[in-house]
Structure 1
Amino acid sequence: MESYGPVTGDEVPLAARVWPERQVPVGGVNLLVRDVPGAAADLPPALYVHGLGGSSLNWTALGLMLSDTVRGIAPDLPGFGRTPPAGSAGISEQAAVLVELLEREFDQPAHVFGNSMGGAASVALAAQRPDLVASLTLVSPALPHPRVSASALWFSALATPRLGPAVLERTRRLPFERRFEASLAMVFGDPRALPPEVRAAYEAELHRRDEDPWGPQVTLDGARSILRSALARPRRSLWADAAAITCPVLLVYGGKDRLVDARIRTKAQRSFPNARLLYLPQSGHVAQMEHPAEVATAFRQLIA
């Protein structure tokens, strides 16, 4: 995060350390990609995929914790973070970008981590190109849920042609502090327990996101894509993709997740042929940020 400067030393908290960044031409756009520092070149590769409205910075702490186990990269997907958009920002489009990135960066299957919508794109990726994926770690993946929830209604509102832009515009007019606190409450299980550096990094990223003119459109595109995936026919759904994935899968759900109902975890564990479950009662939607040590331990157990 630019506000911290190039801080990488051991005295700096994990979530505030900066990963080196570079530009990679993928999918018709220069993708910003961050490399986990300090990982040995002979370690197996890993790919960290953020969710809707997120960025590569969502993986800072977890990636550093696992730098002795995998050599990871984390992209800002088109339209998010510091990568400009390149057409529609839907699940299938993100999966196509990830395929191209993996083919370009690695010569062996990678351990893929995906959060929220990034988890959905990772499922689509693994189903389409199992040769590129050694394992999947899915943190609150945006898989279709049979129950109507507040988040489902929210995404339905955003996906509505006239209502969606109006909702976003009304939200953007709110004072920043109010939007920031609401975002914290929506994403994290207990915002009061966040380390100061996590809170500061999240605030700085929200400020930066306000400057992106394409932000509202890619948010609408993402919401519409999630809604379409929920309405897909069973044979063409993400659940069908899940059933076809044979690599080891770690499913991570938070008991205080306000965006993905953690009760879906039982169905998810049954749907993937080779899945383990990590349930964190106190975590919200981004367990890799709130409880990175627990996620790291579970991943090491998965691939042991």
Structure 2
Amino acid sequence: MESYGAVTGAGVPLGAQEWPARRVPVDGVDLLVRDAPGAAADLPPALFVHGLGGSSLNWTALGLLLNDTVRGIAPDLPGFGRTPIAGAAGINEQAAVLVELLEREIKQPAHVFGNSMGGASAVALAAQRPDLVASLTLISPALPHPRVSASALWFAALATPRLGPVVLQRSRRLPFDQRFRASLAMVFGDPHSVAPEVRATYEAELRRRDGDPWVGQVTVEGAKSILRSSLAPPRRSLWADAAKVECPVLLIYGGKDRLVDPRIRTKAQRTFPNAHLLYLPSSGHVAQMEHPQQVERAFRQLIS
């Protein structure tokens, strides 16, 4: 069991508490996996999947709120958090890692939560292996969008062979504090509403990850994968996968999301056969961090 010295207990915001961590060999790499503390062993299993640039720490508050209902695990996918990169890092590769992790660790249908690119990987997982998924909770999933947005142009720039490395190099030359403020503004609807302890935990993780040599590579590969998914023909797209998902699906979109256009929620609700929608007007891209109580209540309603 690994420990990283985070404080826990009464008086500490849920999002600043840290779950115990261990290593699980999956797909040729020792995946860091966190277990939600306090969950009974006989509870239904849950899998929490972070997005591009995220980590298992993105699920801390929500997993603790639900630890009387599900037994959650949250991995750092290859190239993210504290797991080194291993091969390609696209949506399909992540789905394959999740399949192996579920078969190794859980061996029964799990409630799967996915945010952003992790939401896209969760959709691919559910379409390929419906026997492993009891429900899907998708928070701002990175599904193809017909409208060109600033974020789409950014992903396209990163995915361009010569332009992508230049964009990343110029970004990394900026002082960390400037990049951190930009990250807060990009993912949170209201960065000023984030509890100081949660902000400090988020900053510490980003600062630690800043020194990982594979950060640029995995970011570019993730951007390429998202771009490829948006250009895929209809019969091979993530929307085709979504139409195959028969388990209950909770769709969560934030009205202040700067990375995923929340207007896509209408198409998403129409496409998934058994979809339920939660729209949070004041939330950004990571509703599970910004409004975990609302996400918790919606999930409880989904499975009740």
Which category describes the TM-score, using the shorter chain as reference length?
over 0.9
The aligned runs of 1:1-304 (5 Å cut-off) are: 5-304=5-304
Cα deviation digits, residues 231-279 of structure 1 (max 9, x gap): 0000000000000000000000000000000000000000000000000
1:206-228 deviations in Å (ceiling 9; x for gaps): 10111100000000000000000
Structure 2 portions without partners, runs of 5+: none
- 1:176 to partner: Cα distance: 1.0
Structure 1 unmatched ranges of 5 or more? none
Question: SS of the counterpart of 2:266?
Answer: helix
Counterpart residue identity of residue 61, structure 1: A
Alignment partners' CA distance in 2, 1:181 and 1:18: 23
Residues 115 and 141 in structure 2, CA contact (< 8 A), matched pair in contact too: yes
Distance in 2, Cα, partners of 1:97 & 1:187: 25
Identity over aligned residues, as a percent? 82
Task: Answer yes or no: is the 8 Å Cα contact 2:55–2:76 preserved in 1.
Answer: yes
Q: d(CA) in 1 for partners of 2:27 and 2:197?
A: 33
1:36 shift after superposition:
0.1
Once the two structures are superposed, residues 274-300 of structure 1 have per-residue CA deviations (whole angstroms, 9 ceiling, x without a partner) of 000000000000000000000000000
Does the 8 A contact of 2:13 with 2:195 survive in 1? no
CA drift at 1:4: 7.5
- Work out the CA distance in 2 between the residues paired with 1:169 and 1:36: 36
| Pairwise CA distance, 1:7 | 2.5
| Counterpart residue type for residue 88 of structure 1 | A
Query: Offset of 1:9 from its aligned partner?
Result: 1.6
TM-score (norm 2): 0.98
Measured against aligned partners, the alpha-carbon deviations of 1:70-91 in whole angstroms (never above 9, x if no partner) come to: 0000000000000001101000
Per-residue deviation, 1:137: 0.1
Please tell me whether the aligned partners of residues 4 and 16 of structure 1 are also in contact (alpha carbons under 8 angstroms).
no
Distance in 1 between residues matched to 2:25 and 2:13, nearest whole Å = 31
**What is the letter of the counterpart of residue 209 of structure 1?**
R
DSSP 3-state at the match of 1:251: strand
What residue identity is the alignment partner of 2:232? A
